[in-house]
Structure 1
């Protein structure tokens, strides 16, 4: 008598349980893996552009010395300098047009910069700068500058921010900054789930044979070394982005954590905001007498403002001179005073020590992002970060290629997608909480929240469609086979 063998059928638990990913059966692990994969594939090109343009920008201090050495550097420093008023007079003699809007006295090997507001340049937020040797009083050159930067530095700054494409181009950099921290944190979570030891996080799998495992080892280990720097670049980059930066500004205003500024009004009027983080905004129209600048500088020096300083002449007779430290290389030199030159007194003062902590942190973060904090050390670290990020991205794409099917009947140009998250296994409360979090993030970081919501929605719809698609019945094997 023949016995018909029983065919085991999958239990409901077997059909609904989430697939194990990298040794974990959690939905969270599967979601992080899929999100990291898609973000790496789709956002990485924007990160490559950001890293390359950032690498170019951070090299500007060296390039400026080579290209603009005649304007920026003195032939030989001396023990004494000519009065600042004589330096300004020399600049005025060379460039009689325009209104003096500011003077930057840097000292050491650097020339003095005298800025003139010219009608043709105001709309572009630029000025005409005349450079004067502070030790001889001779003019060394002239340039059209922006925010105190050389033409090359200003051009590379715009290239890094928006590729010279305006508001549309600015979306690329904000998109990159909005997703960089997600990719970095997601990567370290996945790498931790594989290594399970802190010391192993920073070491590639050198014992692995050539292939995806070795590539993943370098991808994960170098990413771990770069994690803190990448998070810092993401956070500081977002502070002056179009949408996230505006929301950041609203929060800072609400908690009164913005940068305080000295009041230059001799009548007690409040101080005016200086504009963007670059020191931007159209140059103010000023009528200051160059002769008064020596008194302003002397009073400021006597008040403890040493090192490089910026001097802004008064806008009218009811306004004081403003003298501010501008040594961004050392974060403790950012004090400012307002000086009434008719009496030789300080009418208002704001020290860095009086800034809210959020204002200090924002200033230091921005200067670090731009390679200004601590000078060449900062620039080397940024260059290493940019090069490391490019390597990590390369290894990520290489893994995608190495994981491609190579069998004759299943060839593919790239690797397969990570398993899709089975949302049916996620509790309702977790989905509701996730939606609320996405909405909150979408408000704070629109170019992260909106793409994330779109990714989850599309992924869930595609998964539903594929589950509902009827399966082709499998023909039973012939008897005796």
Structure 2
């Protein structure tokens, strides 16, 4: 890959570049081409798993109707949640129940998340008869697997790195794509008018990319706070500036033992801004005459205006608290959590969106848009169309290359160099991207070294990669 040629003289302009100009068209086409090798496979996975995640509430009840759906008997009211909890503990005597989520509709079951020796389970209970219907491993359901693929490619930290690298290069691909779309519009129109092979597909690819590009950039930026390098380092910088991606509950200062997202590791129910909130403690010696229950936590949450269906994180020990999380799926502004003392049922602390730092509010809103839930049905369908558009781009890009691939079995990469010496603004942009996106900078440096130390020195590789002299 002739990426190291960014410091060389400009190549001969072609296909939209002005005579005697900088040759940016072919140079950008070359970068767009090579970036796609890394970006397309990852984007295809993210778009497909994103579609599954978007429709998880429609898909999973169909796939697992035997445990997720119930019939509401006439005249029968739901059993107390504490009774349902007892049934779960009897069915899983060696497991630890970590949370309970209320039924989302009259025909849905109550969900208890438990930790067992074999791993996490979601246990489903008929709220009317109070019996356990069955259990599922939340990470092996279709939507659970999609979440793991979407977040880390099921490869842990290394998968997270791959996604972050692909996201960084997707920015390069989007920016170069816009340049190609604008500068190549005359050539594309001429090819369409002449009936050239592949001209219609190239035009559709360009127009779709022009529409999706800004959305892609938004999704990349809104997804970066999840990443292990950019997200972690940016959070560290934000902390030094007195702000944070996360909210920090001031009522969680009494000997905390874990954070809220650690106490609910598999539920995906913790609002983003509260995910790192430290959990406060109860005092076993204080008010032990009255012991609160799950139903107490629901009652306290309802009395304090939490939206339903609520998720209740159960206390892990005698000093633990009930953490009541209000429903705020469509509106992060409604995110609110109450920590309820298990002795006497008093509210130990309340923390919500209004208490977040300004940066955490922005991130929470961005993530809601990213997940297709901020604007209700409109957001859902726009994100669906976007994912389908990304899949179209991931298919048509390789197809265009396959149709125009050379017969000499070379890679068929566009031939061009980025003339950074002649365009200082472009040099500043590339340098800024490398600094702001560390993994982009590292991979760019690796490509430069590979090009200088290997590709340019082996004639066959130089020919196959179509490297300019």
TM class, shorter-length? 0.7 to 0.9
Deviation at 1:175, TM superposition (A): 2.6
134-143 vs 203-212, which deviates more? 203-212
Matched, 1:274 2:271: no
Deviation at 1:17, TM superposition (A): 6.6
Distance 1:398 1:340, change over 3 A: closer
Q: 1:237 aligns with which of 215, 223, 226?
A: 223
Matched, 1:351 2:346: no
Deviation at 1:69, TM superposition (A): 1.7
347-356 vs 380-389, which deviates more? 380-389
Distance 1:138 1:375, change over 3 A: farther
Q: Give matches, 1:183-262, under 5 Å.
A: 183-195=173-185, 209-255=195-241, 256-262=243-249
Q: 1:101 aligns with which of 95, 98, 108?
A: 98
Matched, 1:45 2:41: yes
Q: Distance in 1 between matches of 2:316 and 2:250?
A: 13
- Partner-residue secondary structure (3-state), 1:145: coil
Q: Distance in 2 between matches of 1:227 and 1:67?
A: 34
**1:27–1:426 contact (8 Å) kept in structure 2:** no
**1:71–1:140 contact (8 Å) kept in structure 2:** yes
Distance 1:295 1:398, change over 3 A: closer
Deviation at 1:372, TM superposition (A): 5.0
369-378 vs 313-322, which deviates more? 369-378
Q: Distance in 2 between matches of 1:290 and 1:141?
A: 29
**2:10–2:22 contact (8 Å) kept in structure 1:** no
Deviation at 1:336, TM superposition (A): 0.8
Any idea what the Cα deviations from partners look like across 1:32-61, whole Å, max 9, x if unmatched?
A: 333212212453233334434444444533
**Max Rg structure:** 1
- Partner-residue secondary structure (3-state), 1:141: strand
Name which structure has the greater RCO, CA cutoff 8 Å, separation 6+. 2
For the aligned residue pairs, the C-alpha RMSD in angstroms reads: 4.0
- Partner-residue secondary structure (3-state), 1:249: helix
Distance 1:115 1:334, change over 3 A: same
Q: Distance in 2 between matches of 1:445 and 1:457?
A: 17
**1:113–1:131 contact (8 Å) kept in structure 2:** yes
- Partner-residue secondary structure (3-state), 1:332: helix
Structure 2 unaligned residues grouped into runs of 5+: 1-7, 285-289, 459-469
Q: 1:36 aligns with which of 32, 36, 40?
A: 32
Q: Distance in 1 between matches of 2:41 and 2:121?
A: 37
Q: Distance in 1 between matches of 2:293 and 2:131?
A: 20
Any idea what the Cα deviations from partners look like across 1:395-422, whole Å, max 9, x if unmatched?
A: 333333444567xxxx666645232235
Q: Distance in 2 between matches of 1:96 and 1:16?
A: 72
Any idea what the Cα deviations from partners look like across 1:262-298, whole Å, max 9, x if unmatched?
A: 4665x845685334795599xx9x9999852222221
Structure 1 unaligned residues grouped into runs of 5+: 1-14, 467-481
Number of residue equivalences: 426
Any idea what the Cα deviations from partners look like across 1:77-128, whole Å, max 9, x if unmatched?
A: 889533222222232333333333211114423321123333x14xxxx433
Q: 2:122 aligns with which of 126, 129, 135?
A: 129
